[in-house]
Chain A
């Protein structure tokens, strides 16, 4: 390398980022080569500003190209890289390595409860099927005023503001112990997205959604474990939203 654009401030370390070694232990599943999953570890040199996703990138780009995971925006918005990091569901792009205990290996696994296809890639289709069934779109009477803007007061918006933040990363649903044992359960994410429309006063499909969630596999499966609220990378009060849907069904049916 002959040219460098980096500042040559070798003596002045102000602003320099600490580097450290970290061991990343990944649950691999390579169905072409091994029928069973297995653990594989890599030790990499990382910086204080790096996230778990950066460590995975470093492994994939420099050490083992077969490591497979989803990521799109890498900035906590697309919801592609939800995984189980040190036993809890997090977005790999939102967890800084320095916030974890780097003296021990950092474990990274696929999210639980959905069929694993390869390494951290799971089949998301059961998750999206539940999402489709709660009809996640505005249902409004088009004949009324089809061409006018549907105005809403700030207070009416506040009722469902929290649940609009969902990015469908599946961190909540795949952290739910009820979903682990009963894959038919709609799961927190579907209920959160139903909540977003049920409590929207411009929407008129609330009754249908409450009917869907009054199902055997609906909101009553929830046991308020709060795993989902803890897992949500967007800070949505998931368990609270589920409780509000329960209340809405009770109020409607009794």
Chain B
């Protein structure tokens, strides 16, 4: 499943289409603590978070994430959109809760 397919599954809005839209998601991390996200060693990560800040994207870039989904319908600062474009990270906004989004993505990954 790609990050765009994950967005469709969540009925989420794709704000920025990044460089890795065709990469399959191999791992999902759900966290608001970027310190924890930086500890993950897996590749092709989809990052789910309810934190709407530039640092989420900078962290996602460092760990080579295929995309970021900001949950809980958080409004995204304009700077975040610009950083996503500059770093080529797919940025998605979902109205689902983090827990709800995790379940939906887990179910979708199980079917793949």
- Whether A associates with B in a native complex is no
Q: Give residues in A with beta carbon < 8 Å to B.
A: none
